[in-house]
């Protein structure tokens, strides 16, 4: 049985769909990936993040592929944290998200602007998180927590009543930003995030003065050569109409922002 097959598991508490562990996928290729809650959505140097809430502005323009975008609806003074920025736990990144084109929409959603802070990690014993097929291969689980504050968006007041939240999606990663082991659809409560602190799914229900909690669940495999153990979190911009790279023969590649 392959690792992928063996880890098609679900958390026992109220989860009926499979929880898939993604071992060793890269988060540097523009995909966000990561944990998805089945119960509902959940610093020092922040790089080139701009003037919002006192974050430093070093004036170097950041990553051109992001900074050249028309950030319609951005708060005054907002400058996104540049891709590739390395942060410590407790540091904030200022990022942009967008609901992608889907079957129900002919165009991507308006841009949304966020302050994201990775707050830390904690370990759980293998028997503290019951899986439907057991956790014999798990040495320990790793909870990685972060907070989200909504700073504004490009939606009009009328649009906001029906708009969905396109929350920035952080994923477990190693110290190079490579995607690490993750259990999808894990309940954030497993990592101590109260249900009342989770991010609402509707933009109309978001309090712009509030900070919301989120978490992803990772693990360390007993077999050290299997999978990728987490050391922190990573976020990769995934926006429609990202400017082409200077060399059009090469695909546009956005490096992840990472916390360790």
Q: Where exactly are the structural domains of the chain? A: 3-42+114-259
Angle at 191 between CA 24 and CA 181, to 5 degrees: 5
The predicted-structure confidence for 108-154, as pLDDT tens digits, reads as follows 788 999 999 999 999 999 999 987 777 889 999 999 999 999 999 87
The residues facing 194 across adjacent strands are none
Distance CA(226)–CA(229), nearest Å, equals: 9
The predicted-structure confidence for 64-74, as pLDDT tens digits, reads as follows 567 667 788 89
Going by C-alpha positions, the residue among 150, 173, 166, 157 that lies closest to residue 230 is: 173
pLDDT band with cut points at 50, 70 and 90 for residue 55: very low
Q: Which residues have C-beta within 8 Å of that of residue 156, sequence separation ≥ 6? A: none
Residue 157 three-state SS:
helix
Q: What is the mean pLDDT of the chain?
A: 75
pLDDT band with cut points at 50, 70 and 90 for residue 172: very high
Distance CA(57)–CA(73), nearest Å, equals: 19
Tell me what pLDDT residue 186 has.
93
DSSP string, 144-202: EEEEEEEEEES--HHHHTTPBP-----EEE-TTSBB---BTT--GGGGT--GGGBPPSB
Q: Please answer whether residues 46 and 78 qualify as being in contact, where contact means their C-beta atoms are separated by less than 8 angstroms.
A: no
pTM: 0.74
The secondary structure of residue 78, as a DSSP letter, is B
Backbone angles phi and psi of 188, in degrees to 5: -55, -25
Tell me what pLDDT residue 210 has.
97
Distance CA(136)–CA(127), nearest Å, equals: 9
Going by C-alpha positions, the residue among 126, 150, 130 that lies closest to residue 140 is: 126
Q: Is the pLDDT of residue 54 over 60?
A: no
Tell me what pLDDT residue 240 has.
78
Structure tokens at 34: 């990561």
Point out the least confidently predicted range of 53-57, 179-183, 191-195, 209-213: 53-57
Distance CA(156)–CA(163), nearest Å, equals: 10
Q: What is the mean pLDDT of residues 18-38?
A: 35
Tell me what pLDDT residue 93 has.
98
């Amino acid at each position: 049985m392959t690792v992928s097959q063996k880890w098609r598991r679900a958390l026992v508490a109220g989860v009926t769909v499979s929880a898939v562990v993604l071992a060793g996928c890269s988060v540097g290729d523009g995909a966000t990936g990561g944990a998805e809650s089945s119960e509902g959505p959940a610093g020092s140097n922040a790089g080139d993040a701009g003037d919002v809430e006192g974050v430093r502005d070093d004036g170097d323009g950041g990553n051109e592929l992001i900074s050249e975008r028309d950030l319609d609806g951005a708060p005054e003074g907002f400058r996104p944290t540049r891709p590739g920025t390395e942060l410590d736990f407790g540091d904030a990144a200022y990022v942009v998200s967008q609901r992608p084109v889907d079957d129900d929409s002919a165009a991507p959603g308006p841009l949304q602007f966020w302050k994201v802070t990775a707050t830390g990690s904690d370990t759980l014993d293998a028997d503290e998180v019951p899986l439907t097929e057991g956790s014999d291969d798990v040495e320990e689980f790793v909870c990685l927590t972060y907070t989200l504050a909504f700073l504004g968006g490009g939606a009009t007041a009328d649009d906001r009543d029906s708009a969905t939240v396109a929350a920035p999606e952080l994923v477990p990663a190693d110290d190079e930003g490579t995607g690490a082991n993750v259990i999808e659809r894990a309940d954030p409560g497993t990592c101590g995030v109260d249900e009342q602190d989770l991010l609402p799914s509707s933009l109309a229900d978001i309090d712009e003065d509030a900070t919301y909690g989120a978490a992803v669940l990772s693990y360390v495999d007993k077999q050290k050569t299997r999978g990728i153990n987490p050391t922190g979190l990573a976020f990769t911009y995934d926006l429609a109409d990202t400017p082409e790279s200077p060399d059009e023969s090469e695909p546009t590649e956005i490096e992840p922002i990472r916390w360790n």
